[in-house]
Amino acid sequence: EAEPELADFGSETILLVEDENSVLAITQRILQMRGYKVLPAHSSAEALRIASVPNQQIDLVVTDVVMPGMNGREFVEALHVHAPGIPVLYMSGYTDDDIIRRGLMDSSVAFLQKPFTARSLARLVRSVLDAS
């Protein structure tokens, strides 16, 4: 991959929720290399624990849609009860049409299909942060 564009960098805090260790590690590394602080979570339950820490700053949630236990939409609904308004970027190996048809999210959400490139992840993260 070419040198990342400066516009794709940031310093915000991202809660990253992904049940596959390899995807979690790679995604965390991509974001950290661009200056973001990443709070990794292997499950929705772990992510909710992280988010419930008093004074925990979270500027963006990047979450897998299909996970054991609570799916991405259910996790975000639970998160928004305690921390309303945190922007969310969903990611999945399924297409966005599949996810919408299954009722796991609606068409208005930010979505990144796996597999993704470092650049597409960084651009979409920056775009969602800038829009919020």
Q: What is the CATH number of the domain that holds 40?
A: 3.40.50.2300
Structural domain contains residue 86: yes
Beta bridge partners of 61: 15, 88
Distance in angstroms (rounded) separating the CA atoms of residues 85 and 132: 9
Distance in angstroms (rounded) separating the CA atoms of residues 94 and 86: 24
Q: Tally the domains of the chain.
A: 1
Structural domain contains residue 31: yes
Structural domain contains residue 68: yes
* Residue 111 pLDDT > 50: yes
- CA 9-44-41 angle, 5° bins: 45
Structural domain contains residue 2: no
Count of beta carbons in the 10 Å neighbourhood of residue 75: 25
**Domain of 90, in residue numbers:** 8-131
Tokens of 128: 């969602």
* Residue 99 pLDDT > 90: no
DSSP state of 8: G
Structural domain contains residue 92: yes
Structural domain contains residue 3: no
**Contact of 87 with 61, CB cutoff 8 Å:** yes
Count of beta carbons in the 10 Å neighbourhood of residue 113: 15
Mean pLDDT within 79-98: 85
For the segment 21-67, what is each residue's pLDDT rounded down to a tens digit?
999 999 999 999 999 999 999 999 999 999 999 999 999 999 998 88
